[in-house]
Amino acid sequence: MKENQEFQEMDNEMNENREDVVVENDNPAAQPDTDASSTEEGNVADNAHLQSEVQRLQALADDYQQRALRTQADFDNFRKRTQKEKEDFAKYASSKLITELLPIIDNFDRAISAAGDIADTDSFAKGVGMIFRQLDGVLKSEGLEPMNAVGQPFNPEFHQAIMQVESDEHEEGIVVEEVQKGYMLKDRVLRPAMVKVSM
């Protein structure tokens, strides 16, 4: 009986120890969780890495935006500058021609001033003829050429018919008289010739 009692006491002690162990293991707050803490540390590291990557990409996007704005501003300035140059060119395109015409205007002015003192009209006419040839030379050097319309078939690209006349000398549709000269500027019609056309 005594042995039985000792055996019973030992069994009770073992059960108490087992309960203590179970109680200790059943309380997760009392035990440090190494898996959870390592996962948390990993998440914090991942967050820090992602935030640094977001900051890097944001800085890159800001840089690209600044470059795009500078490029746009440069383009706007270029467009304005070329527009102004174009306007200036159009405004002063004829300055070379006008500079060449100024001496001719001076000569006409002198001829008109001297016209009252000149008794000999022939010499006056020769002087005016010389001025005209000077003017004609300047205009030809710029590519201006008069058209030769008389005797040519009527062409609406070069001629402006103001009248049709009967003609025994010409076939129908031939320019018989030039009322006002036509001019070509290089390869373009500057002014069509005003003509009379046979019918």
pLDDT at 61 over 90: yes
pLDDT at 183: 92
pLDDT at 71: 96
Q: What is the Cα–Cα distance from 103 to 105, expressed in whole angstroms? A: 5
Mean local confidence (pLDDT), 70-97: 91
Contacts of 150 (CB under 8 A, 6+ apart): 175, 176, 177, 178, 195
Mean local confidence (pLDDT), 53-75: 95
